[in-house]
Structure 1
Amino acid sequence: MTAQHRQPLRAVAFGGGVQSTCLLVLAAQQRIDFGVFLFANVGDDSEDPATLDYLRRYAMPYAAEQGIELVELHRTRRDGSAETLYGRLTKPGSRSLPIPVRMSSGAPGTRSCTADFKVRLVGRWLKQHGATAATPATVGIGISLDEVQRVNNRRAMPYERPVYPLLDHTPPLRRIDCQRIIAAAGLPVPGKSACWFCPMKRPAAFAEMRRDRPDLFARACDLEDLLNARREQLGKDPVWLTRFNRPLHEAVPAAQDMLPGFDTTDDEDMTCDNGTCFT
């Protein structure tokens, strides 16, 4: 066991977005004490391609240069083969709906993706490296001051003790502060991170995807169609990737300079930026 893995273990839940990248910079500058960052990859076919590009082009090389261990975790089956979230959703004959699709009632469905592809991967790594209920790991979560309400949404596991370095900073840091810290370190500021088909995205995010990445938007529409074709065969109500209770290609037009009717402060945007998606 290396020195940085000796108890007490300290690791950051790294989402690949602004807040967790700010924590990476703060750790490199020795302003916070974390030598390990854990990125639970739900699948190269599932994560936003921009997030994976940023991770491999900027975050990983930067971490390596600074002597920080940025670990990419993947879900594997018992036979050792890899499993991805998109693969589970599209597997022939699958009835699984692990993402929080919108039901016909407007309510979000079950969100088992977080537990299966994030929480368990991070937890397994922590326990393999010495975290227990008696000696829990300290896990840094990148929640900034402008989203402090999300702190209470996080349920700690017995083997971990969550801390919030951006809130503990003097003064507490907002998202815009995080962006400035990243830029000052010479890194590009990352975009929001989430699965490209995540139903927790704001409609505005899908609208921007339709404008800027039409091929990816078309794939999201195709996935929604596939899920509903299966549900129709089972005699079940349709499900949606937005709250508008109709197909994505009808519900979300391509983004313009301004998006009338879309609330850009909507709390539904529970992306993985800060680790709250999976912790």
Structure 2
Amino acid sequence: MNVISYGGGVQSTSLLVLAARREIPPRTLLFANVGSDSEDPGTLDYISRVALPYARAHGLTLHILERTTRRREVETLWGRLMRQGSRSLPIPVSMSNGAPGRRSCTTDFKIRVIGRWLRQHGASPARPADVSVGISLDEIARASNRHSEPYERITYPLLDLGLRRSDCQAIIAGAGLEIPPKSACWFCPLKPLGSWAELKRDRGELFDRACLLEDTLNARRSLLGKDPVFLTRTGRPLAHAVSRAQDELPLDLGCDSGWCMT
């Protein structure tokens, strides 16, 4: 079994194009959707409007996977966070003492979702699947931090080919496709301040919902006698920490898992 872990961003979309050109072997792509209320709307739009039609036109299969509970109900990351009475804190918030909080969002909503599909389709420790992850040469540190499960062998075609992010963008443009937006949950605490400011400037309704999320989490923590947490590293509520962006700000990759933002 040979698949691409598709994140909807620049690097994994370049893998899609390379597979379409048969320059890498996978014919199947797996996108773990953390929820239509959680994934960045721009990523979901790009997948439905660009990636899926392109994959079909070139004989590739792009599966969109979702996390399901034991009751076979779809669970989203936003739904878990906002569920009444929930004490779950799976996203990497910043603690009031400045320390980073622990997270399980990538494991629960990306790695395990794709892992379940792989095992259901025959992957095992005896016959592991080859999983191509979109990490380019200019972010090679993410590869060294990437953990693999017994049922998979992680491969890095972009590293093997010596490709940087700019090369990936050129590959996508060369296929006649538009460049995808950066992929991540729109409320991800690993987002740098510049990206938060852009969200406030360009998509204010999502910024307001992120403020609501932070307020909801802290209202629960207050009832439990716990210190507040924050969606930025400033130690201040999001609404006070972020000023409106005036200029375009440089890209900042905050996730090192190799599953998000690729």
Q: CA deviation at 1:258?
A: 5.6
**TM-score, length-normalised on structure 2?**
0.96
Residue 193 of structure 2 is aligned to residue 210 of structure 1: no
Determine the structure 1 residue equivalent to 2:259. 276
Runs of at least 5 residues in structure 2 that lack an aligned partner in the other structure? none
Q: Percent identity?
A: 61
Q: What is the DSSP-based 3-state SS (H/G/I as helix, E as strand, rest coil) of the residue aligned with 2:95?
A: coil
* Correspondence list, 1:97-108, <5 A: 97-108=89-100
Question: 2: distance between equivalents of 1:142 and 1:177?
Answer: 12
Residue 230 of structure 2 is aligned to residue 234 of structure 1: no
| Partner residue of 1:59 out of 51, 56, 60 | 51
Q: CA deviation at 1:265?
A: 6.2
Residue 68 of structure 2 is aligned to residue 76 of structure 1: yes
* Correspondence list, 1:1-279, <5 A: 9-169=1-161, 172-257=162-247, 264=250, 266=252, 269-270=254-255, 275-277=258-260
Determine the structure 2 residue equivalent to 1:6. none
Q: CA deviation at 1:203?
A: 1.2
Deviations 1:86-140 (A, max 9, x none): 0000001111101111101212212111111111110011111111111110110
Question: 1: distance between equivalents of 2:29 and 2:251?
Answer: 28
Paired residues of 2:183 and 2:260 also in contact (CA < 8 A): no
Runs of at least 5 residues in structure 1 that lack an aligned partner in the other structure? 1-8
Paired residues of 1:115 and 1:278 also in contact (CA < 8 A): no
Question: 2: distance between equivalents of 1:55 and 1:177?
Answer: 20
Q: CA deviation at 1:216?
A: 0.8
Question: 2: distance between equivalents of 1:101 and 1:90?
Answer: 15
**TM-score, length-normalised on structure 1?**
0.91
Q: What is the DSSP-based 3-state SS (H/G/I as helix, E as strand, rest coil) of the residue aligned with 2:230?
A: coil
Count the aligned residue pairs: 262
Q: CA deviation at 1:256?
A: 1.0
